[in-house]
Amino acid sequence: MPITDITPGTEIPSFVRQQDFHAWNRFAAVNDEFVPIHMDDAAGINAGFPGAIGMGNLSCSYLHNALRSWLGEQGRICRVSVQYRQPNNRGSVLTTRGKIISATHGPARCEVQIELWMEDDAGRVLMNGEALVEVTGVEVIGLEASGA
């Protein structure tokens, strides 16, 4: 779907993933991230958590996935900042969400600032951050021409 709405306040489509060892082990395998707290409930409990916890790096990928899904082939990610507030627990469902903060129109592209956050199915905000993306494409130029 081409991007047609870059109005501040508009939410981008969310990205949802269940958290369990199936997902974490796959990520550990590609990132060589075999850290005990991500693999073993006892190690997580020993570190002060309810059990094994998910990787911050994988959660960060989910934020990027949400941005990529929204951008499609119409732009690129320039900058992403994330702060990890709480760990994500095994069995939880993570939802990555984003909301447009501002959009600055240029001659053939638009710089868009997006607020990002990740929440679990208990309503806890686990991560928040911001992204700067560059949006290009005829629809954006059309928006600029129409003064949006």
Distance of CA 109 to the CA centre of its chain: 22
Q: Which stretch binds another protein (CB under 8 A): 6-14, 18-26, 93-101, 114-122?
A: 18-26
Q: Does 3 bind another protein (CB under 8 A)?
A: no
Residue 16 to residues 59, 66, 106, 128: CA-CA distances in angstroms?
11, 9, 32, 15
Identify the three-state secondary structure at position 138: helix
Q: Which of 10, 21, 40, 56 binds another protein (CB under 8 A)?
A: 56
Question: Measured from the CB of residue 55, what is the shortest distance to another protein in angstroms?
Answer: 8
Q: Which stretch binds another protein (CB under 8 A): 15-23, 88-96, 116-124, 138-146?
A: 15-23
Q: How far apart are CA 27 and CA 61, in angstroms?
A: 10
Question: Measured from the CB of residue 57, what is the shortest distance to another protein in angstroms?
Answer: 7
